[in-house]
Structure 1
């Protein structure tokens, strides 16, 4: 794509503005603590069609709990007086483990009033620094405001834990928040290279195709198509009030983004084409996780998308 110096400066300004504000989006939802959509130690297994581009961002392999980064992309544990706190700085490898955390409000007290978003009051994500091992679950909250997220087996390495929520009272009532902290899973960590950007991937016999040319900091439509044995799928079931949930993480720092669905819902007759509103603030590779349901089973497809 040809560009003038003026266009280039404008695009960089848009990208910078997007980094500060565009990523506190909330779409996702996946089962409860007991019906988590997890991919323990998931390998990067999508089809590749182009060489991978190096990331321009720094690694997220930092010290657990030291997460005071720029707000808006999910990489901070604090925003507008709300804080994600946890005493868990490490979790065991190779077995199920519970991550316990609390969200405190501007008054420093644990928050217990949360609005339901896509039928859930809290959406929780775990992702390893190389963007493998994606887990998306809905934790349970005790009366004192302590949340417990039951995670499937974790592989050694640095993990980032995201909490996505909306306060149901106070000055920030109705505002979407995404906060995160890092934890370490001890053991010998082996980094898995991110697969090259690709237009499609396969999961559980389904072929998922993504179409859309995205530019950093600019809103674009994104279309996802689902097929089985070469035939368009038209029986996608409702999943948390929509047909698919799409989450994205940026290569290098694991910045978080939700992509909002715009497809009209019509019972359990979704597909084959699903439309999303996409606005990713930073150029580079993004790892997309698409979750959809058929026949009562939840499927999670992953592929790499290049954003210019």
Structure 2
């Protein structure tokens, strides 16, 4: 009887020890999962409660365009006390025009200190309401904080102009902002229908294919592949510290999204596959504009992507 009691107690002790070990392994796995998902640069504007490992930080630091991700859809001229101001509401059609504007800070004064993002202090985008006429410009700034964006000829209609920047000082230091305003180009405006969603398109003899199925509001990788004459392209040249620049605009409201490249640049032999970090906030159709350089020439490809 005593021997049976001791045997039973020992079995219970071993079972408890095993359960405790299993629980410890489970908690360790959960902690590891939290650490690997907290990658720097993936949620700018929010503070991480977990410090990533040095190896993770170094790996992400090697990725171009991942240091100052802008937040928001860019559909406001004001964010965090910063404002996009311009004196003109109308722009002429049929000819080049220099649009002058300023970015004012929370103190109401023009901002003159900006941190370069992908080698430029400011990225400026123009897009018509029907998602045609895309322009990506790097404006110049005068000493007083007045910017000048040299726009190519604009068709009549409503245009939205986006200013993407990162303040180099002040309350918004190190934070990415995208502000925009709408402008009217007088004349008879004819709306162009949005091309149907497609996985590939062609430009200047190149075939551009996009792989990935992004869901609204979720982080998702996209892969862009380039080919020419049926052969993979491997001679991409760096453009803005990456092998391609990818911008997206939402059908209907022209909401903005910058899809950040994660492929490391290693010289004038990029391609054929390029990786991007995508987080498109709204479902529906998005018009993607991919810019890449070969032989010193900049190419711009466009296609429609459906987001569920």
| C-alpha spacing 1:220/1:136, structure 2 compared with 1 (3 Å) | same
1:32-90 C-alpha deviation (Å, 9 max, x unpaired): xxxxxxxxxxxxxxxxxxxxxxxxxxxxxxxxxxxxxxx81100000010000001101
Q: Which residue is 1:173 aligned to?
A: 173
TM-score (norm 2): 0.77
Match of residue 199 from structure 1: 199
Greater relative contact order (CA < 8 Å, ≥ 6 in sequence): 1
What residue number does 1:232 align with?
232
Aligned to 2:258: 258
Aligned to 2:90: 90
1:152-301 alignment runs, 5 A limit = 152-301=152-301
The alignment yields a C-alpha RMSD, in angstroms, of 1.5
| Structure with the higher helix share, 1 or 2 | 2
Q: Partners in 2 of 1:218 and 1:182 — Cα distance? A: 28
Work out the CA distance in 1 between the residues paired with 2:171 and 2:101: 22
Give the SS at the match of 1:248.
strand
Structure 1 stretches of at least 4 aligned residues deviating more than 4 Å after TM superposition: none
SS of the residue corresponding to residue 217 of structure 1 reads coil
In structure 2, what is the equivalent of residue 139 of structure 1? 139
Matched, 1:80 2:80: yes
- In 1, Cα distance between the equivalents of 2:138 and 2:288? 19
Q: Distance in 1 between matches of 2:65 and 2:192?
A: 27
Gaps of 5+ in 1: 1-20, 29-70
TM-score (norm 1): 0.77
Unaligned runs of 5+ in 2: 1-44, 47-63
Cα deviation, 1:182-224, whole Å, max 9, x if unaligned, reads 0000000000000000010000000000011111011111000
Helix, strand or coil at the partner of 1:254: coil
Give the corresponding residue for 2:55.
none
Structure-2 change in CA distance of 1:93 and 1:130 (3 Å): same
Deviation sequence 1:134-168 (CA, Å, 0-9, x none)? 00000011111000100000000000000000000
CA distance in 1, matches of 2:148, 2:261: 28
Offset of residue 27 of structure 1: 5.3
Tell me how many residue pairs correspond in the alignment: 243
Contact 1:27 1:259 in 2 (8 A): no
Q: Deviations over 1:209-246 (max 9, x none)?
A: 00111110111110000000010000000111100000
The offset of 1:266, in angstroms, is 1.1
- Max radius of gyration: which structure? 2
